[in-house]
Amino acid sequence: MKPYFSMVLSWHHCIFDNSMDWVETFNHNPIESLLNSKNKAIQYITKRNLMDIQEEPPIHLWNLPEPQKLLKKQENDGSWKYPGKYPDKYPDVNYNLLETFKRLRILVGKYNLDKSHPAIKKAAEYIFSLQTEEGDIRGIYANQYHPHYDALILEHLIKAGYTSDSRIHHCIEWLLSIQNDDGGWAHPLLTEGLGWDEVSRLSSHSGEILPFNRTSISCNLITGMTLRAFACHPEYMHTEEAYRAGELLASRFFKPNIYNTYKAADNWVRFQYPFWWNNLLMGLDSLSLIGFSIEHPRVAEGLEWFIENQRDDGLWDSSYKINTKRINTEKAKEDRQWITYAICNVFKRFYET
């Protein structure tokens, strides 16, 4: 790793002294940029989660403009309506389920809403109403399976307080039942060697459901996303199955996917927060929760990449893909702050464990 930098201390210097040694692994101090964010939620989680400052419960974040705007658009059944004409074109696809996931991702992932809020309760019951007898949640790909979306939906329900709900356990057990022999996960729409036209048809029109083949080679994208349900659940994060999946995912860092979807290797360095598509940051976050350490060579390689690619202002860009244009709007800066918070959270876990 690069030499430690001499940290510039703020009024929080008494806290930095003893509990934030992990910050010294960076070449630039990211904390000041996060504390100076215009978004109060970023300020809050930085103090509470990164600096271990005792903060009031996050309920005051629920009244900020962005969550309030999203809450007003919730449907009576607990879902959010998908905008645009796709639902008319593909009526077999439950676009409202996709939109509900997207809204939960922001409300829970950024603003800490939980099941004590009636909107989250309604959203959870809407999602559970779509759970099959097998245990999975169906609809985003018409009547085909989508384990990676199931896992991301579970992640936010778990974070919202549904950890002990039997319906969560039922879905995670289903995910275990379809885990590949190599430790990861794949999708039948990818493993069967179908042409793009056939994949498009099957994922947008109800028809024969393609079964899983557990002997197939796992997919970077599907494995990274599916692992989120395990990494966020206290009863499953330290299981042998989760660790095997983590080992497989780590072995794929910076490598192209073997399947055509999300194939390019530089997809590993395109980031979002809260997490969605598989990438290096999401993978390291999962590994830090599952129990991997900085002694693991692929973990060390991933952390070193972030150290080497930090901006001079202490933040990280949302994408390092080839030919990515750098945008300097206020929205882009806030995106960088969310991503930087997530990176700091990963480093804090690894270096304090």
Q: How confident is the model at residue 217 (pLDDT cuts 50, 70, 90)?
A: very high
Binning pLDDT at 50, 70 and 90, where does residue 88 land?
A: confident
Which pLDDT score, from 0 to 100, does residue 3 have?
Answer: 32
pLDDT at 221 over 90: yes
Spatial separation of the C-alpha atoms in residues 232 and 285, rounded to whole Å = 10
Task: Please report whether residue 344 resides in a domain.
Answer: yes
Classify residue 3: in a domain, yes or no. Answer: no
Mean pLDDT of the chain: 93
* 14, pLDDT greater than 60: no
In a domain, 314, yes or no: yes
At 249, which CATH number?
A: 1.50.10.20
Phi, psi of 20 (to 5 degrees): -130, 40
pLDDT of residue 55: 87
The count of domains in the chain is 1
Look up residue 50 and give its amino acid: L
Instruction: Kindly state whether residue 52 falls inside one of the protein's structural domains.
Output: no
CA distance 143 to 55: 44
- Quote the CA–CA distance of 303 and 351 in Å, as a whole number: 11
Answer yes or no: is pLDDT of 7 > 70: no
Amino acid at 222: I
The amino acid at 90:
Y
pLDDT at residue 8 greater than cutoff 70: no
Q: What is the pTM of this model?
A: 0.92
Q: Is the dihedral of CA 217, 264, 302, 283 positive or negative?
A: negative
Instruction: Give residue 19's pLDDT.
Output: 65
How many Å apart are CA 64 and CA 75, to the nearest integer?
20
**What was the pLDDT predicted at 15?**
40
pLDDT of amino acid 84? 82
Give the model confidence (pLDDT) of 100-137 as tens digits. 999 999 999 999 999 999 999 999 999 999 999 999 99
Nearest residue to 47 (alpha-carbon basis) of 24, 17, 16:
16
Residue 276 lies in a domain: yes
260, amino acid identity: N
Averaged pLDDT for residues 246-251: 98
Rounded to whole angstroms, what are the CA distances from 147 to 140, 259, 347? 11, 16, 28
Which amino acid belongs to residue 200?
Answer: S
Instruction: Give the integer Cα–Cα distance in Å for 205 and 92.
Output: 5
The pLDDT > 90 percentage for the chain reads 89
Task: Residue 320: give the domain boundaries.
Answer: 59-352
Q: Provide mean pLDDT across the span 300-305.
A: 98
Q: Tens of pLDDT along 148-193?
A: 999 999 999 999 999 999 999 999 999 999 999 999 999 999 999 9
Task: Tell me the average pLDDT across 243-261.
Answer: 96
Asked whether the predicted pLDDT for residue 326 surpasses 90, the reply is: no
| Residue 71 within any structural domain of the chain | yes
Q: Is residue 91 part of a domain?
A: yes
> Is residue 242 domain-resident?
yes
| Per-residue confidence band for 5, with pLDDT thresholds at 50, 70 and 90 | very low
